Amino acid sequence: MSDSVTLGALTIAEALAPAPASAGYVLVAFADGALGLGAATSAALGVAAGVIPRAAEISSFKGKIGSALDLLAPAGLEAQRLLVLGTAPDKEGGKTDYLRLGGLVAAKLGKAKNARILFDFATPPEDFATAASDFALGLRLRSYKFDQFKTKKAVKDEPENGGPVDFRIAGAEAAPIADAIAKVSGLADGVDLARTLVNLPPNLLYPESFADKAKELEKLGVEVEILDVPALEALGMRALLGVGQGSKRPSRVVIMRWNGGAKDAQPVAFVGKGVCFDSGGVSLKPGAGMEDMKGDMGGAACVTGLLYALASRKAAVNAIGAIGLVENMPDGAAQRPGDIVAAMSGTTIEIINTDAEGRLVLADVLWHVQSAFKPAFIVDLATLTGAILVALGQEYAGLFSNNDELAQRLTEAGTQTGEKVWRMPMGPAYEKMIESKFADIKNTGGRHAGSISAAQFLQRFVNDTPWAHLDIAGTAMSSPAGDLNQSWGSGWGVRLLDRLVKDYYEG
């Protein structure tokens, strides 16, 4: 066996190796719809392979993806369990989803940590390296847990055996697989970072501490600049500072730069809303569910995770990640409904509702990014409106854009990764909703079309730069449990935007 590649808690190698010294492991194999096994798997199982057809008949196992056959103490093997996973697609003529398959394996393994996974199939995938990296990514994503504050973990959460999962790939050349998996490792780490940032409590994650965590990306070669309150005042970011003036936690803006492309190549830019806690300010939110507002920085978490992922795989692109970090609190210095502030652009904004604060943060950061860096495009992400949940639920993020090409590319990247977006309308009729009697614009257009009027507000601050706004209020936090994620914070958007960059903007 050649040198292995580490993927978090997983060890990846390109060949079937001798069984672990300990017999207390789980052996994972794959069967197709006809219960066919790969040649290397059949050889590794020996006489145990002959048990599968009879056991499948008794348990009605048909080899469909999502189904499993669990054999205890299989004859002829040292393993304590033989776990056979189906790989046949849900739809006739479809392709095996190796990303989902990885998540299903992690789910079926449960608390077992000592396992050998025979990545071998009766009909091998056309692109073995890509299939293996997708599988490994799914395994990593499903394995994430946020339990650092549980002082007494439940017994069911403890590993049966102390060792790492030993993931071995059979029947392929090592080099392309190792390269693909190494890049997936950084992507998985970026998603996990975004998840953890969203999950952290607001007494530990606030503008200053969030900025410090972003600063850690310098270890990967990312240039990180932290703008404090005096620097923001000097730039004229009065809209952003107005949101944070009611909190004892001072606001911050963090600019992260990954320079992986040609020196003179135009950068791509990503902007994230980072309201580390949103009480609503003077327009106080209802108490029920307010604890979830620790996740109102999901856009900033995604941008930070994305820059981590791009730097980890040495992406051949120049990328800007900018996050506006504030707390929206209701003390005596807090912004009031009726106040008028001047944004960095010079646009005056009437504050109608202090709970429509995220767009104020984004307004100044968007203007700064488009002015200072002249990017090829800007994508902003924000847990911006409850209205997008009413419109799209938690299946899609809302997509708003001034550029058809960028919107189409985001839609295609969403289809490929499963982080789906749905394009929403914009236009002059919605622009009228944010007209103010006393200032240039107001910060909310009212109850109807709330997500659209918020996007119209943001568009004011990008000039002619190709721009897309992703409203991720339904996807970044309190996300539904699925094959790839069981966490409250989903890390949504990191894989989508990494794919966007990889497919269209590198090189």
If you write DSSP's letter for every residue of 155-174 in order, what string do you get? GGGS-SSSSPEEEEE-SS-H
Burial class of 367 by CB neighbour count within 10 A (0 to 12, 13 to 18, 19+): buried
Q: Which of 468, 306, 459, 304 is nearest to 398 (CA)?
A: 468
Evaluate the CA torsion angle 63, 66, 72, 73 in order and state its sign.
Answer: positive
Active-site entry in 359, 442, 495, 499: 359
**Is 409 labeled as catalytic in the residue annotation?**
no
Type of residue at 118: L
The DSSP secondary-structure symbol of 301 reads H
Type of residue at 487: S
d(CA 363, CA 246): 19
CB 31, CB 187: distance < 8 Å: no
d(CA 106, CA 490): 17
- Strand, coil or helix: 83: strand
Q: Name residues whose C-beta falls within 8 Å of residue 478's C-beta, 6 or more positions apart in sequence.
A: 292, 295, 488
d(CA 248, CA 251): 9
The DSSP secondary-structure symbol of 370 reads H
CA 410 vs CA 391, 399, 493: distances in Å? 19, 9, 10
**Is 285 labeled as catalytic in the residue annotation?**
yes
CA 280 vs CA 277, 294, 469: distances in Å? 9, 12, 22
- Strand, coil or helix: 67: coil
Burial class of 100 by CB neighbour count within 10 A (0 to 12, 13 to 18, 19+): buried
Tokens 């952003």 belong to: 240
- Strand, coil or helix: 194: helix
Long-range contacts at 447-452 (CB < 8 A, ≥ 24 apart): 449/387, 450/385, 450/386, 450/387, 451/384, 451/385, 451/387, 451/388, 451/391, 451/398, 451/400, 451/424, 452/400, 452/424, 452/425, 452/426
Evaluate the CA torsion angle 457, 461, 464, 470 in order and state its sign.
Answer: negative
Active-site entry in 62, 213, 215, 285: 285
- Strands in 397-401's sheet, in edge-to-edge order, are 223-227, 252-259, 318-328, 268-278, 378-382, 467-471, 397-401, 421-423
Catalytic residue positions? Answer: 285, 359
